[in-house]
Structure 1
Amino acid sequence: MEQGELDALLTAEGLALLDALDPVETTADVARTVSRLRAAGHSPDLVSAVVGQVRLRSRAETKFGPFAARMLFTRAGVEQATRMAVAAHHAGRMRAAGIERVADLGCGIGGDALAFAGVGMEVLAVDADPVTAALAAYNLRPFGDAVEVRSQRAEEVDLSGWDAVWLDPARRTSGHSETRRVSPSDYSPALDWAHALGERMPVGMKLGPAHDREALPDEVEAQWVSVDGSTVELVLWSGALARDGVRRSALVIRGDASHELTAPADTEDEPVHELGAFLHEPEGAVIRARLVGEVARSLEAGPIAPGIAYLTGDAALTTPFVSSFRVRETLPADVKALAKALRARGIGTLEIKKRGVDVDPALLRKKLNLRGDASATLFVTRIGGRRAAILADRV
C-alpha cells in the first residue's frame, strides 16, 4: 500500500466504503468491483485501497479469525504476522513473568501488540515503516491510551521504564507486497544488537523456525512452535522470560488445545527399532527442538532408521506431540508394483508422507493412478539403507 492509498482509506468515506463491500475472491470479482466503484466516482487510490483490503481481510482470517474483518493490512503484514493463537501464548508468558509494560519493536500490523494489550499490559508498538505503523495504530485503536504507536527504528527507542521487549526482526526486504527473505546477517535490527539487548533486559525474539541452531545463545530458552501441523516460528526468551532449567521447548497448538514439551537441553535419540505395529510422526516443533528422543521414550518407540524422524513401536500409545498410525503392511517401493498393490486394495484416497527420499508426493500420486473407495496413508522413506513404502491408517 502506498501513502496515497493509505490517505484515501483512512477517511470516513474510505472506511465506510470498505465495510460495505462484499467479498472479492476472483480476478473477475476484482475487475467488476473496480469498474463499479470507478463509475460511482471514487478516486483510483481509494478504489485500489478498499479492494486490496477486502482481499487481504479474507486471507488474514486464517491468522486473526473474526478480528480480521475490523483490521487493516498490507500483504507483507499478513504474511509475517503472528497467528492470534500463538500471540496469546506470548502474552500469557509475559503476564506470568510479571510484565506490565512491554515494548513491541517491529510490531508490523500489530498482531502481537493486540494480544499484549488484550491481557491488560501497557504497550509501545514500534515499526520503522510509516505506512505499517499507521495500520498498526488503526488496528490497536480499541485499546486507547494503553497503547502508543510510533514509526521509529528499533535501535533508536528509549526503553527506560519498560519491563520487557518483544522483538520481531525484519527477515525480508522492505515493502508492503512482494518481499524476499534475507540472510540472518541482514536482519533489521541486527541480531548482534538484539542478543545484546537480551542480556540487559527480558526479551522475547521471534525468528524463523529454521534459524541456525549453532547461532543460538547458550543462556536463552529456545521455543519452537507448531500450529495445526505447521512449524511456524522459533522464539528466544531471555532474562525473566526464560524459565529456570528450560533451554529447549516445543509448543504444539491444534485448534483450541495446546501442549508443551520442555527439556534442559537437546535430548538423546533412542536406538533404531525394527518396524512395529505403529508408526509415529513427530510434530515439526519437536523435531526442531531435538526432543524426538523424549517423545520416543514416552511411546516405547524408536526411529525406523538413523536420521529419519519417524518413530515405530508395538505399544498402543500416542501423545499430542505426534500423529500416530497403525501399520497395515510394507508394499513394494517400485512405482508400478506399488500402483498395482494399491489398486488391488481398492485405495482411491491416499495421504502420502515422505522422509529421507527424493520423492514428489503430487507427482507420485499421478503415477499411481489410484482407484477405489478405500483410504489410507502411505509413508515413503528409507529402512536399512533401502527405499520402503509403508501402508498405514491414522489412529
Structure 2
Amino acid sequence: MGEPLMRIGMVGAGKISGAYLDTFPKLPELQLTAVTDLDPARAEEAAAKAPGAVAVKGGVDELLARDDVDAVLNLTIPAVHAEVARAALAAGKHVYGEKPLATTREEADGVLEHAAAAGLRVGCAPDTVLGTGTQTARKAVDDGLIGTPVAATAFMTTPGHERWHPDPEFYYRPGGGPLLDMGPYYFSSLVHLLGPVARVTGFSSTPRDERVIGSGPRAGTRFAVEVPTHVTGVLEHASGALSTLVMSFDVHAARLPRIEVHGTDGSVSVPDPNGFGGTVELYRGTAGEWETLPDEAGYRDASRGFGLADMARGVASGEPHRASGELARHVLDVMLSLLEAAESGNAVAVASTCERPAPIV
C-alpha cells in the first residue's frame, strides 16, 4: 500500500467519530494520525482504534502544531465549528467538518476567506449525497428520464433527538433545530438534484418550550427549547423548479417520502439523504407503475469519510471536491433565509449561490 494522500488530525471524539473511525480502513487515501478531545479518555479510546494514531493531550493547539497532520477533521459541536476551522486554516491545514459549516453567514464567510487566502481546502458534511442513493437519482434526472424537473418534495419528521441522545440540549439551541441539524442532508441533496436555490418562503413554530431527556444517566432532566422545532417552506431553485419541505422534531409518526423529484414526464423517488444508499424508484408518466433503478452512480458501499477522501483526491489532482465549503455555505444561507422568511412572513432572496457539484458516475 502506498503513502496516503492526506494525514488527518481529528478534533472531537464524540458519538459521530465512530462512523469515521469505521470508514478509515476503507480509504487508503487517508491516514488518521492524531486525535484530541476535551475528554482525554475519549481521545485515547478513539486513537486506539486507528493503527499509528496518537491521542494528543495538549488540545487543539498541540494537534495543529504537528507535522504529521495535513488536514483537520472537525467533529466539534456546531457552535465552535467555525472557530476550530479558522484555527486549522491559520496553522496551514486543510479542514473538513461536520455540518453545518458554521452557525452564521459571517462565520462561514470568514472560514472560506481564510481558506482562499491560504490556498487551502474546506470540506463539509454531509457526504451521504455522494453515495449510490442520491447519485443514482441524480443520474435519472440528468438523463432526462423524468423530463424537465418542475418540483420536489422533502420531508424529515421525528419526535426529537432527546429520546435517544444522552446530551441532546445542543439540538435545541442556536445552530440546532430540525432545519440546521437535518436540513443539510436534504438541502445538499436538492442542490445535487436541482441546482442552487434563489428564493425561499416558509413558516415555523415551537409547540413545546421544554423537552425531557429520555435515555442515559440524565434521563428525566428537563431543558429549554430555544429554536423553532417545526419548519415548513418552499424553495425556488435558480432553474425554476420548486421544492416543498417539512423539517420537524414534532411529528410522532408519518408515511411521507424522504425526497421525490417530479418532472414533465415522470417522477423519481430518492432514498433517505441521511444514508448513502437505498432504493431509487422511477415512475415514467406512460408506465403507470414504479420501477426500481439499479445503482448506476455514486460511491459504492460508502460511509462517513468518503467526502474527506474525495477532498484529498481533489487536492492531489487540482480538481474541485464535491462536499465543498462553498456548497455548505450556500446550504447554510438557504436554511437561514428560510428561518428569516418564517419570522418575517415574506419571501427572502438567497444572496449566495454555488456550482452544482460534479456527478459521480
State TM-score, norm by structure 1: 0.33
Considering fraction of residues, name the structure with more helix.
Answer: 1
- Say which structure, 1 or 2, has more relative contact order (CA 8 Å, 6+ apart): 2
Which protein shows a greater Rg?
Answer: 1
State TM-score, norm by structure 2: 0.35
